[in-house]
């Protein structure tokens, strides 16, 4: 398991910066001049830092980070000069932290923050830095890392020391962020993990291991799913050697008797398309088709780590979509747990069949105050929004504005798309109550309308299609290329804003 770097907070006054090894990070002040730590290093460095800021290049440029390699006069091998810009907002703080993280290499890191900004802002910087240091090196053999990045460095630094004017205050402000970083790392690992390792059984084991954090875990196996009538979910997994499962994670530490927020995730550990098999080019990316389930697990982990006073239940459907003699066929009709019959016209539209039963189960069992599902559901959402926004749908305006605010506050970019009866009509089946695709046009919306059918009228609901934002082919502000953990921060924030007492 990949874990965030250990971060230590210490008073800046005690530090002798010139004698520290590894990488030193210092800041400009809000006006584009040198901050206190930067000024003290500048003398030893013969004025190199003040030369860098003299032309005003750092002014109002949040996120600008310059590297000084092998600086004369210091024990450090690298100094990073970072600009937060004037009055940095959380977005500027994240951008700066991410930019610092992207330029760090191996070895110890010391970040001297005194005077750079207030504790809340600095906590964001440190969090962003920790997120950007994520490195999934599970399958890189030792000795295989000579190449390194542009600085010749490879792998995340293990120790980060943050020096601050008030180290205790910054440590306190950083605590909830540490829980969030762990949740995001956990989600990213699940997404990056290949499908021969992350089988449905291994996924369930990783969920079960979270019991030690105080989460209540229930793994529902095939025979019981059969009894419950979860035939839509089971149909998808029929072609796989890995048994289908539904996993439930309960965190009920809010007011007793208050209905929980329900989070539901698509956990297709690999999506070949089934008998409606996908083209081979790019199919390896379908190891990320459990991204929705990963986000749900990451949020539940965060809530447990920070002991959130809230009632939240997470449900994920864990299946593998494979072609086989026992696999479901195009044209098959199954009865879902709700009782509606589904004509499976395309076995590659499997996510919605899995979610149909998960949504129904969570509503019947927990009578949730609201349901939010996340799924790498459609390629169509990538056509609509690219890789820069998740697409989301909502049936309740209060929940919608709370979610929009939470996502915006943490920087998880998302764009709302419409629901509508006309779209739902595209899913009409000649033989059954509904079919599992509505044709090419409006593909993300007809998928959402399929799910809508399995949401009770009285349940406020949001569906988030994360197909475009779960796995990226290049590095982003807060993540190296690969899994992003998109959504963990937004949902953690939503819980904090709306479901905590
Ligand atoms: N898992 C895919 C969607 C997907 C595509 C996720 C690309 C991430 C990147 C989903 O199960 C799927 O195959 N959807 C089909 C639906 C179609 C058959 C109606 C699609 O989008 O092509
Ligand atoms: Mn599919
Ligand atoms: Zn899929």
What tens digit of pLDDT does each residue of 168-225 get?
A: 999 999 999 999 999 999 999 999 999 999 999 999 999 999 999 999 999 999 999 9
Q: From the CB of 349, is ligand 1 less than 6 Å away?
A: yes
- Mean pLDDT over 156-170 rounds to 90
Q: Is the CB of 378 under 6 A from ligand 1?
A: yes
- pLDDT greater than 60 at residue 149: no
Residue nearest to atom 3 of ligand 1 (CA): 378
Residue 160 Cα to ligand 3 middle (Å): 39
- Give me the mean pLDDT over the 228-237 stretch: 99
Q: Whose CA is nearest to atom 7 of ligand 1?
A: 379
Identify the nearest ligand to the CA of 436 by its number.
1
Distance 443 CA to ligand 1 centre (A): 9
Q: What mean pLDDT do residues 46-75 have?
A: 89
State pLDDT tens for residues 118-147.
Answer: 999 999 999 999 999 999 999 998 755 544
**Residue-wise pLDDT tens digits, 393-448:** 999 999 999 999 999 999 999 999 999 999 999 999 999 999 999 999 999 999 99
278 labelled catalytic = yes
- C-alpha 6/C-alpha 20 separation (Å) is 18
501: pLDDT strictly greater than 90: no
Cβ atoms within 10 A of the Cβ of 152, count? 11
Q: Is the CB of 467 under 6 A from ligand 1?
A: yes
Distance 436 CA to ligand 3 centre (A): 12
What CA–CA distance (Å, rounded) separates 65 from 193? 32
pLDDT value, residue 144: 52
- Among protein residues, the one whose CA lies closest to atom 16 of ligand 1: 349
Distance CA 479, CA 128 (A): 9
Ligand 1 probe mutation, 328, 343, 348, 466, most atoms within 8 A of CB: 348
Residue 485 scores a pLDDT above 80: yes
DSSP string for residues in 17-74: GGG--SEEEEEB-TTSSB-HHHHHHHHHTTTHHHHHHHTSTTTT-TT-EEEEES-TT-
Spatial distance between the Cα atoms of 337 and 449, rounded to a whole number of angstroms? 17
Index of the ligand 1 atom closest to the CA of residue 278? 13
Mean pLDDT for 309-317 is 99
Task: Compute the distance from residue 389 Cα to the ligand 2 centre, in Å.
Answer: 20
Q: Read out DSSP for 329-365? A: -TTEEEE-TTS-EEEES-TT--HHHHHHHHHHHHHHH
Q: Of the listed 77, 95, 250, 352, which one is catalytic?
A: 352
Neighbours of ion ligand 3 (CB under 5 A): 268, 271, 289, 351
pLDDT at 154 exceeding the cut of 60: no
pTM of the predicted structure, to 2 decimals = 0.97
Over residues 91-104, the mean pLDDT reads 97
Pair of tokens at residue 121: 């802002």
Ligand 1 atom nearest residue 380's Cα: 21
CB of 119 closer than 6 angstroms to any ligand 1 atom: no
Minimal-distance CA residue to ligand 1 atom 5: 379
Nearest CA to ligand 1 atom 8: 467
The closest ligand to the CA of 268 turns out to be 3
Per-residue confidence (pLDDT) for residue 30, from 0 to 100: 80
Residue nearest (by alpha carbon) to ligand 1 atom 22: 379
User: Is the CB of residue 43 less than 8 Å from the CB of residue 131?
Assistant: no
Question: pLDDT averaged over the chain?
Answer: 95
CB contact at 8 A, 77 and 107: yes
Write down the pLDDT at residue 143.
59
Residue 265 Cβ inside 6 Å of ligand 1? The answer reads: no
Res 157: pLDDT:
64
What is the atom index within ligand 1 of the atom nearest the CA of 321? 11
Q: pLDDT for 286-302, tens place per residue?
A: 999 999 999 999 999 99
* Active-site residue identified among 59, 278, 329, 498: 278
Distance 272 CA to ligand 3 centre (A): 8
| pLDDT at site 55 | 75
Annotated catalytic, 238? Answer: no
348 Cβ closer than 6 Å to some ligand 1 atom: yes
Ligand 2 centroid distance, CA of 240 (Å):
14
Buried b (16+ CB within 10 A) or exposed e, 426-436: bbeeeebbbbb
465 within ligand 1 shell (Cβ under 6 A): no
Check pLDDT > 70 for residue 153: no
Order the strands of the 245-252 sheet from edge to edge: 216-220, 245-252, 311-321, 261-271, 370-375, 461-465, 390-394, 414-416
Question: What pLDDT does residue 13 have?
Answer: 85
The mean pLDDT of 24-29, rounded to a whole number, is 94
| CA geometry: angle 464, 468, 471, nearest 5 deg | 110
Determine the distance separating the centroid of ligand 1 and the alpha carbon of 377, expressed in angstroms: 6
Q: What is the pLDDT of residues 339-385, one digit of tens each?
A: 999 999 999 999 999 999 999 999 999 999 999 999 999 999 999 99
- Give me the helix-helix angle, 167-192 and 119-132, nearest 10°: 30
Note the pLDDT of residue 78: 96
State whether the beta carbon of 293 lies less than 6 angstroms from ligand 1: no
Ligand 2 centre from 400 Cα, in Å? 27
Summarize the confidence of residues 38-63 as an average pLDDT.
Answer: 88
pLDDT of residue 151: 47
* Beta carbons within 10 angstroms of residue 475's beta carbon: 13
């Amino acid at each position: 398991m990949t874990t965030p770097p250990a971060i230590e907070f210490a008073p800046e006054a005690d530090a002798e910066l010139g004698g520290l090894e590894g990488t030193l990070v210092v800041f400009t002040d809000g006006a584009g001049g040198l901050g206190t730590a930067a000024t003290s290093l500048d003398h030893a460095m013969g004025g190199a830092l003040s030369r860098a800021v003299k032309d005003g290049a750092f002014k109002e440029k949040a996120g600008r980070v310059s590297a000084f390699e092998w600086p004369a006069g210091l024990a450090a091998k690298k100094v990073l000069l970072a600009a937060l810009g004037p009055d940095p907002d959380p977005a500027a703080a994240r951008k700066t932290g991410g930019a610092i993280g992207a330029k760090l290499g191996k070895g110890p890191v010391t970040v001297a923050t005194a005077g750079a900004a207030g504790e809340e802002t600095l906590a964001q910087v440190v969090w962003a830095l920790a997120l950007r240091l994520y490195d999934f090196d599970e399958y890189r053999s030792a000795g295989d890392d000579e190449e390194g990045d542009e600085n010749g460095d490879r792998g995340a630094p293990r120790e980060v020391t943050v020096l601050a004017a008030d180290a205790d205050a910054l440590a306190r402000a950083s605590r909830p962020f540490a829980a969030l970083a762990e949740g995001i790392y956990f989600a990213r690992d699940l997404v990056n993990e290949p499908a021969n390792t992350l089988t449905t059984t291994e996924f369930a084991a990783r969920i079960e291991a979270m019991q030690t954090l105080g989460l209540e875990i229930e793994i529902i196996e095939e025979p019981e799913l059969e009894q419950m009538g979860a035939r839509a979910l089971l149909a998808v997994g029929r072609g796989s050697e890995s048994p289908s499962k539904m996993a439930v994670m309960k965190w009920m530490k809010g007011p007793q008797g208050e209905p929980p927020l329900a989070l539901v995730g698509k956990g297709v550990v690999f999506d070949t398309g089934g008998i409606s098999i996908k083209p081979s080019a790019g199919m390896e990316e379908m190891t990320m088709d459990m991204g929705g389930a990963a986000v749900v697990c990451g949020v539940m982990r965060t809530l447990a780590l920070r002991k959130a006073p809230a009632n939240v239940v997470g449900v994920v459907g864990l299946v593998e979509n494979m072609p086989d003699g026992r696999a479901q066929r195009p044209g098959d009709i199954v009865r879902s747990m709700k009782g509606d019959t589904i004509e499976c016209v395309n076995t590659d539209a499997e996510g919605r069949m899995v979610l149909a039963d998960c949504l129904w189960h969570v509503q019947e069992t927990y009578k949730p105050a609201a349901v939010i599902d996340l799924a790498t559901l459609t390629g169509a959402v990538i056509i609509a929004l690219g890789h820069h926004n998740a697409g989301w749908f909502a049936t309740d305006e209060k929940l919608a504005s709370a979610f929009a605010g939470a996502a915006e506050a943490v920087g998880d970019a998302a764009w709302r798309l419409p629901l509508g009866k006309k779209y739902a009509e595209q899913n009409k089946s000649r033989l059954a109550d509904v079919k599992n695709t509505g044709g090419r046009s409006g593909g993300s919306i007809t998928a959402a309308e399929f799910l809508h059918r399995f949401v009770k009228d009285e349940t406020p609901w949001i569906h988030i299609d994360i197909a475009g934002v779960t796995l990226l082919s290049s590095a982003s502000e807060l993540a190296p290329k690969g899994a992003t953990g998109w959504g963990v921060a937004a949902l953690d924030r939503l819980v904090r804003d709306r479901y905590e007492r």
